[in-house]
C-alpha cells in the first residue's frame, strides 16, 4: 500500500472533540490538511469559531459539552447532517487541573472524571452507534496520557481518568472488532500547547524535558501524525493498542547515570 494514498482522507468525515485549541486543534488541522471534512467540537464556543475560521472550508463547528449525553449525541448528529456519516472519531477533550488529594474537593474530582472519562465514553459510544448502523466499519481514536501509567503529585484525578481511558479503549476494541471498527489510544507525553502553558511552571517543564531521550517537548503536530496513522489503512490490523508519543520518556528512568562506568 502506498503510504501517501493511505493518508489521503479526502472521502472521510472526521469528528474531533476538544478541537478549539492545543492537541485537539492540531489533530483537526492534520485531518483537514489530509483532505477530510472535519467536525470540530468544544465547550468554548468563541474559541471554537476562531478555530473553524483558521481552517477554512470543509469544516463544521458545533459547541459540545462532552460531559452531557444529549450534547454529545447532538454534536454527532449535527456533524452527520452537515457532512454525512462519520468515518473517524477522535475523543480528545480533557482537562488537567492540579490538586493534592487531601485538598481536592469532590467537585474537582468529579469534574475531571466527567470530562476526561465520561466524555470519552459518550463520544465513543455515539460514534460507534453511528458506525455500526451503517455497517461500513470505522476508526476511533482516544487520547490518554503518559499519566495513565506514571503518576505525579497533584494529579490523582487526572492520572486515574487517563488510566480509565486506556482500559476503556481496550474493552471497546474487543466489542467493536466484529463490526470492523478499530479503536486505539494515543498516550502523549509532555506537549507544548498555546492554551494552558501559563499554568505549567518552568521548573516542571524543564525537569520533565530533561528525562525525554529526544530532548524536547512534543507538539500538537506530533500527536496529530499518530492520529492520522491510527485512522488510516496502515493501522488496519491494530486495535486496542496504546501508542506512546512522548519522545521516549516512557522508556524508563532516563535520569539515572550508568551504574558502572561504560566500557570504551
Predicted local confidence at residue 4, as pLDDT? 65
Average pLDDT over residues 118-126: 98
Nearby residues of 107 by Cβ (< 8 Å), 6 or more positions away: none
Label residue 264 by pLDDT band (50, 70, 90).
Answer: low
Residue 71 grid cell: 450534547
Average pLDDT over residues 205-212: 88
Predicted local confidence at residue 228, as pLDDT? 98
- What residues are annotated to the active site? 158
DSSP label of 148: G
Q: What is the side-by-side order of every strand in the sheet holding 88-91?
A: 59-63, 37-42, 13-17, 88-91, 138-143, 181-188, 242-245
Predicted local confidence at residue 130, as pLDDT? 98
Average pLDDT over residues 102-124: 98
- Full set of structural domains in the chain with CATH: 10-244 (3.40.50.720)
Predicted local confidence at residue 2, as pLDDT? 67
d(CA 97, CA 120): 18
154: left (phi over 0), alpha (psi -120 to 50) or beta: left
DSSP label of 115: I
d(CA 48, CA 228): 21
Residue 224 grid cell: 496529530
Nearby residues of 114 by Cβ (< 8 Å), 6 or more positions away: 67
User: Among candidates 231, 132, 126, 232, which has minimal Cα distance to 178?
Assistant: 132
Confidence check: pLDDT of 195 > 60: no
d(CA 137, CA 115): 27
For cell 482500559, name the residue.
167
Question: For all residues of the chain together, what is the average pLDDT?
Answer: 94
pLDDT digits (tens, 9 = 90+) for 21-70: 999 999 999 999 999 999 999 999 999 999 999 999 999 999 999 999 99
For the chain, percent of residues with pLDDT exceeding 90: 86
Confidence check: pLDDT of 201 > 70: yes
H/E stretch holding 24 reads: helix 22-33
> Would you call 192 helix, strand, or coil by DSSP?
coil
For residues 166 and 141, is the Cβ–Cβ distance under 8 A?
A: no
d(CA 202, CA 206): 6
Label residue 181 by pLDDT band (50, 70, 90).
Answer: very high
pLDDT digits (tens, 9 = 90+) for 70-104: 999 999 999 999 999 999 999 999 999 999 999 99
Nearby residues of 162 by Cβ (< 8 Å), 6 or more positions away: 94, 116, 144, 145, 147, 148, 187
Predicted local confidence at residue 256, as pLDDT? 84
Nearby residues of 69 by Cβ (< 8 Å), 6 or more positions away: 122
Predicted local confidence at residue 258, as pLDDT? 83
Q: How far is CA 163 from CA 102, 103, 123, 144, 244, in A?
A: 21, 22, 17, 7, 13
> Would you call 199 helix, strand, or coil by DSSP?
helix
Predicted local confidence at residue 135, as pLDDT? 96
d(CA 116, CA 93): 7
Label residue 255 by pLDDT band (50, 70, 90).
Answer: confident
Cα Rg of the chain (Å, integer): 18
pLDDT digits (tens, 9 = 90+) for 137-177: 999 999 999 999 999 999 999 999 999 999 999 999 999 99
Q: At what angle do helices 22-33 and 220-230 cross, to 10 degrees?
A: 50
208 compared with 75, residue with greater pLDDT: 75
Predicted local confidence at residue 70, as pLDDT? 98
Amino acid at each position: 500500500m502506498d503510504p501517501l494514498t493511505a493518508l489521503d482522507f479526502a472521502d472521510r468525515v472526521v469528528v474531533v472533540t476538544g478541537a478549539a485549541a492545543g492537541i485537539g486543534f492540531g489533530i483537526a488541522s492534520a485531518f483537514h490538511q489530509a483532505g477530510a471534512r472535519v467536525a470540530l467540537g468544544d465547550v468554548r464556543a468563541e474559541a471554537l469559531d476562531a478555530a473553524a475560521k483558521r481552517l477554512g472550508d470543509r469544516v463544521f463547528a458545533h459547541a459540545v459539552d462532552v460531559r452531557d449525553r444529549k450534547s454529545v449525541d447532538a454534536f454527532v448528529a449535527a456533524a452527520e447532517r452537515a457532512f454525512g456519516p462519520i468515518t473517524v472519531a477522535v475523543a480528545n477533550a480533557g482537562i488537567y487541573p492540579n490538586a493534592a488529594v487531601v485538598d481536592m474537593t469532590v467537585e474537582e474530582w468529579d469534574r475531571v472524571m466527567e470530562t476526561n472519562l465520561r466524555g470519552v465514553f459518550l463520544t465513543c459510544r455515539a460514534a460507534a452507534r453511528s458506525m455500526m448502523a451503517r455497517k461500513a466499519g470505522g476508526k476511533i481514536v482516544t487520547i490518554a496520557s503518559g499519566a495513565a501509567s506514571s503518576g505525579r503529585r497533584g494529579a490523582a484525578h487526572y492520572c486515574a481518568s487517563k488510566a480509565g481511558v486506556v482500559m476503556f479503549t481496550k474493552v471497546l476494541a474487543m466489542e467493536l472488532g466484529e463490526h470492523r471498527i478499530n479503536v486505539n489510544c494515543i498516550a502523549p507525553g509532555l506537549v507544548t500547547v498555546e492554551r494552558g502553558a501559563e499554568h505549567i511552571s518552568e521548573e516542571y517543564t524543564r525537569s520533565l524535558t530533561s528525562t525525554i531521550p529526544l530532548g524536547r517537548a512534543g507538539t500538537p503536530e506530533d500527536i496529530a501524525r499518530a492520529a492520522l496513522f491510527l485512522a488510516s489503512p496502515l493501522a488496519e490490523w491494530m486495535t486496542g493498542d496504546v501508542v506512546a508519543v512522548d519522545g521516549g520518556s516512557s522508556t524508563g528512568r532516563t535520569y539515572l547515570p550508568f551504574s558502572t562506568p561504560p566500557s570504551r
